[in-house]
């Protein structure tokens, strides 16, 4: 169950990080106001001893919420909800990564026991999260627009996911886990054992659904960019989408760095050729001063050759496959020619896209 969590999760993260990542300060402020009104209404109601007064306060809170909701256009509300779900998706990936790393140190068994001779410290690369985003998503799950089964998944996995978030956060900051014969570590282990299976099952269903939504939203946005003549951002987005398609193709073949030489390069070659064309179009667009002005960009090299590096990383990986030799993954970094290196460079492109076009 634990094997492969990191590989699949990395692909899903790259799918989503750049898509509609920002919704504007005004929309975020309106959402925070809306959320506070809901919270205040519930808290005021709970504090009232008189049932009628409590009901009036709750109704008042709902009226305030409805008024704020009406001030946010439906398409903006959709964007707010989608972006928070994306943020939850990415935090979920971090939790899945922490599960994977946790069991590199701890025996995957009912009773707590450290694995022998790992050379790793308890809590190695384990990171938790506060539950702020999860709580926001729980509120949004009851709000329009409805995301159907995705909203239901948020509600169903909220409790076990929140438990893992807090537990891994505690582990990452714990210095006394070995005291009293590992009493705290045993308590953490019990929570992890209780909640991991359901979070993995529901989490992958949630991520697959968000992945599908992300593909649809990306395709829609790219068509709009192209139609409006915004060729720099269009080709930047399209390059990342092709990179994601490459990862999808690799994982659909059941391939990772441990069996990279099994990869059938037929479809990868087609995607490579398309990526080369799109990056050439991107370079041409950024060399056009009129296009830079149109898209309000002052830097003619906003990606500093990152997309050329993406092509290089892909070609190194393809040569690695053709060589019949697996990449040496024994070191701490992602070596040239590995799938991990291609994913890493794609992630850098995603981060730069966000900093240039979104944030």
Tell me the pLDDT of the chain (359 aa) as tens digits.
454 444 444 444 544 444 444 444 555 666 677 667 666 655 555 555 554 544 454 444 445 555 555 667 888 888 889 888 988 988 998 899 899 899 999 999 999 999 999 999 999 989 998 999 999 999 999 999 999 999 999 999 999 999 999 999 999 998 888 899 999 999 999 999 999 999 999 999 999 999 889 888 889 889 999 999 999 999 999 999 999 999 999 989 999 999 999 999 999 999 999 999 999 999 999 999 999 999 999 887 888 899 999 999 999 999 999 999 999 987 767 899 999 999 989 988 988 887 888 76
Q: What is the DSSP string of 274-339?
A: HHHHHHHHHHHHHT-HHHHHHTT---S-TTTTHHHHHHHHHHHHHHHHHHT------SSS--TTSH
Tokens of 156: 């169903």
> 106: which strand partners?
114
In the chain, domain spans: 228-359
Cα of 226 vs its chain's centroid, Å: 26
pLDDT at residue number 11: 47
- DSSP alpha helix (H) spans, 103-147: 132-141
> 114: which strand partners?
106
Phi-psi region of 124 (alpha: psi -120 to 50; beta: other; left: phi over 0): beta
């Amino acid at each position: 169950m634990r094997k492969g969590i990191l590989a699949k999760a990395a692909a899903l993260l790259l799918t989503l990080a750049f898509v509609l990542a920002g919704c504007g300060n005004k929309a975020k402020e309106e959402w925070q106001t809306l959320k506070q009104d809901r919270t205040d209404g519930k808290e005021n109601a709970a504090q009232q001893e008189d049932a009628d007064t409590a009901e009036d306060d709750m109704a008042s809170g709902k009226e305030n919420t409805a008024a704020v909701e009406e001030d946010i256009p439906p398409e903006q509300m959709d964007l707010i909800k989608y972006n928070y779900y994306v943020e939850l998706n990415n935090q979920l990936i971090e939790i899945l990564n922490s599960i994977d790393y946790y069991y590199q140190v701890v025996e995957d068994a009912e009773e707590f026991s450290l694995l022998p001779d790992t050379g790793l410290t308890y809590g190695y690369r384990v990171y938790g999260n506060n539950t702020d985003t999860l709580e926001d998503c729980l509120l949004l799950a009851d709000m329009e627009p409805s995301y159907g089964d995705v909203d239901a998944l948020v509600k169903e996995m909220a409790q076990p996911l929140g438990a893992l978030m807090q537990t891994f956060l505690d582990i990452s900051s714990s210095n006394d886990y070995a005291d009293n014969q590992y009493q705290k570590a045993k308590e953490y282990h019990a929570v992890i054992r209780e909640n991991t299976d359901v979070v993995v099952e529901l989490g992958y269903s949630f991520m697959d659904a968000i992945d599908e939504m992300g593909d649809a939203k990306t395709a829609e946005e790219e068509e709009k960019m192209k139609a409006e003549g915004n060729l720099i951002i269009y080709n930047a987005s399209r390059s990342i989408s092709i990179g994601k398609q490459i990862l999808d193709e690799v994982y659909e073949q059941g391939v990772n760095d441990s069996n990279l030489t099994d990869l059938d390069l037929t479809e990868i070659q087609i995607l490579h050729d398309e990526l080369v064309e799109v990056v050439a179009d991107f370079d041409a667009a950024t060399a056009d001063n009129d296009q830079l002005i149109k898209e309000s960009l002052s830097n003619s090299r906003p990606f500093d050759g990152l997309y050329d590096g993406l092509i290089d990383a892909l070609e190194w990986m393809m040569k690695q496959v053709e060589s019949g030799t697996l990449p040496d993954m024994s070191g701490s970094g992602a070596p040239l020619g590995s799938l991990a290196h291609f994913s890493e460079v794609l992630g850098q492109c995603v981060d730069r896209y966000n900093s240039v076009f979104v944030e």
